[in-house]
Structure 1
Amino acid sequence: MNEKNNSLDILGVKSLGDATNTIITKSIGGIESFLKIVCKPAFEEFGLMLGDKVRHWRVNNIINVLEKSQDKLEFRDNKLELKINPRIALGIIENASLTDENELQDLWSGLFAASCNHDEKNDENIIFIDFLKSITCTQAKILKYVCENSIKVIYNNGLMTSEKLILNVDKLKEISGILDLYRLDRELDHLTHLNLIGQDIFNGSGGIKISDFTANVTPTTLALNLYVRCNGYNGDPQFYWTNNIIHKKSSEIKTITVIGSEK
């Protein structure tokens, strides 16, 4: 038996049916060595999951996420010398396995890639796992839009924030694909509760303003950091953005950017 088959046997693939075995064997070939290198405990946990037919769907989700993570990392001389903290790796694998939505898988893969560095004890990105596992696919679409389209402000003290961003309901429906006004408001309420977007008063919470059917969706500094990490970047967030950036003194007052309002 060759080395590759031995490795796959350790993962428990043989316990699966022939058809499933063929699919999993083919899929795991591309990520097996990758996961072994960056985090052995995560590799072993992954192997346990492969031995459970009930978790086949979750395994496929993890494979997709890890394959996307590899694409976001740079290899030197065909070698990967980065490591990831086991707490982060296991947390991402456990939670990312629960979704097959491309938008969310992209975010999980980016967070995995951003957490790979030269210090496997580095656990700074663990705070983003709770945020990411708490948002819906709709909320991910809204966050992506507001983080990419808001004007980022770099103050002279080094703090990065965003200018106030207001969207009307029609624009929010277009971004999210949600036509149900009540559901849309709930999605915004939750993002506000997570401190990822700005706040408005609507029945005592964040969301859509009843007076003009607009919402304050200004991404917080936390949201901008989350977005950057979920795109595979682990450097200083202010250097990630190349567009829509202005520099201000900390004493300056923020202006308001309105997108989608009626003229």
Structure 2
Amino acid sequence: MSEENLDPVGTKALAEAAKIVTEKTVTGIGAFLNKVCMPAAEEFGLLLQDRVRSWRASNAVAILERSRAHLERNEQAGEIHVHPRIAGKIIDKSSWVDAENLQEMWSGLFVSSCSPTGTDDSNLIFITLLDQLTASEATLIEFLCKDTRICTSEHRLVLAETQVIVPLEGLRKVTSIDSASELDIAIDHLREVGLLQMESGFNLNSSPTPVAILTPSALGLNLFARTQGWTSDPYDFYEKGSPVGVREIAPVAPNTSHPSGYHDAF
């Protein structure tokens, strides 16, 4: 029997094609890293050499592809560099992540780490914070920060204008966490790491169902802006409002499945 008959659907050809595409993708990412941060390019090469790390390498490629596309889309791919310490840590930490929303945030953090000189290491604190988040916690941070307004500040401080009141059922749909206890743990964790203001949490006295009163902290708002690839003053990232106010949010519509639709569903 011929070799062709042993492979009637062309599996071998498909495998070869996939290998070529992968090699081209990796080569492109290597060239991109070589341009913005030579030490990170060398570290990336080592990651690819170990077959045991292929899953991590695949994640790193996906994130760096997003970063490169963001920079090119916004015409930022000129003479930019990333501090080696920052680039190395982002590649290392993000390579363990396969959740799409977290990959998007890691990609944005890489973009916001780019500067003309490559000496800016201010995103180091945000690498540590993002590395601690679950996919559900990251979704909740995006939900709270995406369309928020901040207080008008003479000193350009980033402070949330409002509290966000979310019924238990709304939180379940936002985070895809069904357990009220697990939701409480997630909120406690976000508050503990400083991404929510200290008063954030469940109001058990509310009826007929518990509601969570949540306010992103200045640190949380800064983290979100950085993970969106924002490189300027975070004060300019958010819409400005009055110093005080409360915005009540109804439960999320049952068919809502993506963060970008959450606010539209209320």
- TM-superposed CA distance for 1:160, in Å, is 2.1
Letter in 2 for 1:209: N
Partner of residue 209, structure 1:
203
Query: Could you tell me which of 120, 123, 146 is aligned with 2:121?
Result: 123
The SS at the match of 2:166 is: strand
SS of 1:219 mapped into structure 2: coil
Which secondary structure does the structure 2 equivalent of 1:166 belong to?
strand
Following the alignment from structure 1 to structure 2, what is the Cα–Cα distance between the partners of residues 220 and 190?
13
Q: Is the 8 A contact 1:150 1:218 kept in 2?
A: no
1:1-263, aligned counterparts within 5 Å? 22=20, 24-74=22-72, 80-162=78-160, 163-200=162-199, 207-212=201-206, 213-241=210-238, 243=239, 245-248=240-243, 254-260=244-250
Contact 2:164 2:247 in 1 (8 A): yes
- Root mean square deviation of aligned Cα: 2.3
TM-score normalised per structure 1:
0.82
> SS at 1:58's partner residue?
helix
Residue identity in the other structure for 2:222: N
- Residues 209 and 137 of structure 1: CA distance in aligned 2, closer, same or farther (over 3 Å): same
What CA distance in whole angstroms lies between the structure 2 residues aligned with 1:79 and 1:156? 33
Relative to 1, partners in 2 of residues 1:76 and 1:58: Cα closer, same or farther, differing over 3 Å? closer
Q: Distance in 1 between matches of 2:125 and 2:76?
A: 31
Equivalent residues of 2:68, 2:77 under 8 A apart: no
User: Offset at 1:211?
Assistant: 1.8
Which residue is 1:3 aligned to? Answer: none
**1:214 corresponds to which letter in structure 2?**
V
1:210 offset after TM fit, Å? 2.1
Q: Aligned pairs, how many?
A: 233
Does the 8 A contact of 1:114 with 1:233 survive in 2?
Answer: yes
Structure 2 gaps, min length 5: 1-14, 252-266
Matched residues, percent identical?
Answer: 33
Deviates most, 176-185 or 209-218? 209-218
Q: Which amino acid aligns with 1:147?
A: C
Do the aligned residues in 2 keep the contact of 1:31 with 1:67 (CA within 8 Å)?
Answer: yes
Gaps of at least 5 residues in structure 1 are: 1-16, 201-205, 249-253
Is residue 150–residue 165 contact of structure 1 (8 Å, CA) maintained in 2?
no
Residue 229 of structure 1 deviates from its aligned partner by 0.5
Return closer, same or farther for 1:74/1:180 CA change in 2, 3 Å cut-off.
Answer: same
